[in-house]
Amino acid sequence: MNNVVNYSGKRKPTGQRSAISHNSVIQPHDYLFRMGEKLDGIYMLNSGSVKLFRTTESGEEYITGFCASGDLIGLDALVDGVSRTSAVALDTSNISMIPFNTIVRGGDRFDYQKFIHQIGATLNRENDHTMMLSQRTADRRLAWFLIEYADGLASRGLCPTEFSLPMTRTDIAIFLGLAVETVCRELATLCDEGIVKKNRRRIEILDMARLRSISRGEVCADKLAKEIRSAA
Amino acid sequence: MNNVVNYSGKRKPTGQRSAISHNSVIQPHDYLFRMGEKLDGIYMLNSGSVKLFRTTESGEEYITGFCASGDLIGLDALVDGVSRTSAVALDTSNISMIPFNTIVRGGDRFDYQKFIHQIGATLNRENDHTMMLSQRTADRRLAWFLIEYADGLASRGLCPTEFSLPMTRTDIAIFLGLAVETVCRELATLCDEGIVKKNRRRIEILDMARLRSISRGEVCADKLAKEIRSAA
DNA sequence: CGCGTTTTTGATCTAACTCAAGCTTTGTGG
DNA sequence: CCACAAAGCTTGAGTTAGATCAAAAACGCG
């Protein structure tokens, strides 16, 4: 499992620490901030993608979310200014910061309404993630993940059926609470059934309707595979 | 699995719907609001306990959290005024409401700072819940649950080692992403090892240190049980 | 007191984990 | 520019933690 040291060891010196004042660009593997760090405000992702995660003392990594353009990062620091989460860029990303002062006092042209709205959205996404992790089969989890990602793209006006995932299979596995091998296998199953096409990180969704019904638990992804087995 | 109809069917007419203006009392099984309902603001729980949950079209129930005094309820409605979550009282509870207007405009004596703080705290709790659900054994989940509950009591100045749980075993199971039977069995194991004492909903924690180390995954709750088996 | 709900325990089964190993891609240094 | 190393991805075989099914006991309520 990757840990903080790994990443920090191999990244370029760019963006070493969060000296972000207003607008800045960070490179893949650069940290926006690390868990336990005091933040100066909330970050807003303008482009690229960021992974949010925590590591326990014993080195277990937990991924709490993947962020894309428009998302707020560091909301959990609202409690006392310190984030319990680390944020690392997966792609080259453009980021701006909203200082805590602005948030608390309601600064110049800070869109408060929108900020509150985003908090609700974040909370809802967390809830969805939680629901997915409770008592669900691997095929549903993966289907859910792909749909979430596709929907996110669609809401940003991008193509929801053909895209490139910014994260590794291991990241997906951790996020979904599964083993890497399980993610690979389930993805392979979806391909076998003609629901998606994959080429490494590149994903093409061929049958969105079926993918959604798998996600809802109406049908099982391994249905075909099982039918073949039982026929034998 | 319990669903909305069950609860609504057997509750007394009190507090039928959320006509809560400022301060009110609701009885066990009364709904504060149901998923999809338009809220007038965010609720604050002053005493008692409330369960937050969602149900899918297919009737699956997911519990996103249990609230106790001091908690804000309905934050997910900040996105558009509608909550995707249902809130039902587990005990007789005292509740007040902060209208959206007050939140957005920053009314009279609305403690904005505290509000923002609470949002961060809620987000963190969600994250903890998510982490627990990702890749953890049943014994760790249950230990985590008991500790969370105990810590919550402690932070409210109540006794953290002897308490009565307001929710059913089934609720705990759903919240932890486990089967009811598993929750019962793991609780029984904890009792066998002298870590907790139980009498139905009544819980007494005898060895908090050991419970915490189980929660961290340092030791396995079924260790003893296994040692006995392997000795045979 | 009888009935429905909740809790508990037992037996069996299976989905997903773990371990193992090969393959592919990416990155690095000579 | 090529070779080697490291990371990432994939597939197979065997094991196991926890789900499911079944059923009894313990409450609590009308």
Q: Which nucleotides of D are covered by protein (CB under 7 A)?
A: 7-13, 17-22, 27-28
Q: How far does the CA of residue B201 sit from the closest CA of chain A (Å)?
A: 23
pLDDT at position A12 is 32
- A225 pLDDT tier (thresholds 50, 70, 90): low
Whether residue A108 is predicted with pLDDT greater than 70 in this model: the reply is: no
What confidence tens digit (pLDDT) does each residue in B105-134 have?
A: 766 667 888 888 889 999 999 999 999 999
CB contact under 8 A, B131 and A80: no
- Inter-chain contacts counted by CB atoms under 8 A, chains A and B: 121
Identify the DSSP state of B28: T
Q: What pLDDT score does B228 carry?
A: 45
C-beta atoms of B133 and A134 within 8 A: yes
Residue B222: pLDDT band by 50, 70, 90 thresholds?
Answer: low
Is A3:A61 a contact under the CB 8 Å cutoff?
yes
What's the CA gap between B17 and B34, in Å, rounded? Answer: 9
Q: What pLDDT digit, counting tens, does each position of B2-17 carry?
A: 322 233 333 333 333 4
Distance from CA of B194 to the nearest CA of A (A): 26
The distance of A155 to chain B (nearest Cα, Å) reads 15
* Chain B residue numbers touching A104 (CB-CB < 8 A): 112-113, 116
Cα angle vertex B155, ends B152, B156, to 5°? 90
Average pLDDT over residues A192-199: 94
Cβ-count burial B101-128 (b if 16+ within 10 Å, e if not): ebbeeeeeeeeeeebbebbbbbbbbbbb
Residue nearest C17, CA–C1′ metric: A179
d(CA B211, CA A171): 29
| Of B99, A36, B106, the residue nearest B114 (C-alpha) | B106
How many other C-beta atoms can be found within 10 angstroms of the C-beta atom of residue B51? 23
Q: Do B124 and A60 touch (CB under 8 A)?
A: no
Q: How many residues does chain B have?
A: 232
Instruction: State the pLDDT at residue A101.
Output: 85
Query: Is the pLDDT confidence value at A222 over 70?
Result: no
Residue with CA nearest to C5's C1' atom: B168
**Which residues of chain B does A76 touch, with a Cβ-Cβ cutoff of 8 Å?**
120, 123-124, 127
Residue B129 in contact with partner chain A when CB distance is under 8 A = yes
Please give the Cα distance from B177 to B62 (Å, whole number): 9
> Using 50, 70 and 90 to split pLDDT, how confident is the model at A127?
very high
Give the pLDDT band (50/70/90) at residue A203: very high
CA distance B103 to A120: 13
Q: Which of residues 159-188 of A touch B (CB under 8 A)?
A: 174-178
Length of chain A: 232
Least confident among A116-130, A214-228, B176-190: A214-228
Distance A179 CA to C18 C1' (A): 9
Q: Which of A1, A87, A11 is nearest to A49 (CA)?
A: A87
Over the stretch B52-104, which tens digit does the pLDDT of each residue have? 999 998 889 999 999 999 999 999 999 899 999 999 999 999 999 999 888 87
What's the confidence (pLDDT) of residue A57?
84
In chain A, beta strands by DSSP E: 23-26, 31-33, 41-47, 50-55, 61-67, 72-73, 86-89, 93-99, 162-164, 196-199, 202-205
In terms of CA atoms, which chain B residue is nearest residue A179?
A: B135
Q: What is the DSSP letter of B12?
A: -
Cα B129 → chain centroid: 10
pLDDT at A65 over 50: yes
Average pLDDT over all residues of chain B: 85
What's the pLDDT at B7? 30
> pLDDT category, B211, cuts 50, 70, 90?
very high
- Residue B76 touches partner A, C-beta closer than 8 Å: yes
Are the CB atoms for B41 and B97 separated by under 8 Å? yes
With bands split at pLDDT 50, 70 and 90, how would you rate the model's confidence at A21? low
Q: How far is the CA of B179 from the C1' of D19 (A)?
A: 7
Which CB contacts under 8 angstroms, 24+ apart, belong to A79-83?
Answer: A79/B117, A79/B120, A79/B121, A79/B123, A79/B124, A80/B117, A80/B120, A81/A38, A81/A39, A82/A36, A82/A37, A82/A38, A82/A39, A83/A33, A83/A35, A83/A36, A83/A37, A83/A39
pLDDT class of A14 with cuts at 50, 70, 90: very low
pLDDT above 50: residue B18: no
Lowest mean pLDDT among A2-16, A85-99, B192-206: A2-16
Check residues A6 and B95 and name the one with the higher pLDDT: B95
Note the pLDDT of residue B104.
74
Closest partner residue to A130 (CB to CB) among B64, B122, B135 is B64
What is the percentage of chain B residues whose pLDDT exceeds 70?
84
The predicted pLDDT at position B224 comes to 53
Specify the pTM: 0.87
CA distance B38 to chain A (A): 14
Which of the four pLDDT bands, split at 50, 70 and 90, describes residue B154? very high
* Residue carrying structure tokens 């405009």: B105
A106-114: average pLDDT: 73
Instruction: Give the pLDDT of residue B111.
Output: 80
- CB contact under 8 Å between A58 and B216, yes or no, is yes
Chain C nucleotides reached by a protein CB under 7 Å: 6-11, 15-20, 25-26, 28
Is B135's pLDDT higher than 80?
no
Residue nearest to nucleotide D26 (CA to C1'): B200
Task: Determine the pLDDT at residue B102.
Answer: 83
Q: Where do the domains of chain A lie, and which CATH numbers do they carry?
A: 4-131 (2.60.120.10), 136-231 (1.10.10.10)
**Residues in A touching B119 (Cβ below 8 Å):** 75, 78, 119
Does B221 score more than 70 pLDDT?
no
Say whether pLDDT at B141 is over 50: yes
Measure B216 CA to D20 C1' (Å): 28
Residues A75 and A42: beta-carbon distance below 8 Å: yes
User: Residue A38: is its pLDDT beyond 90?
Assistant: yes
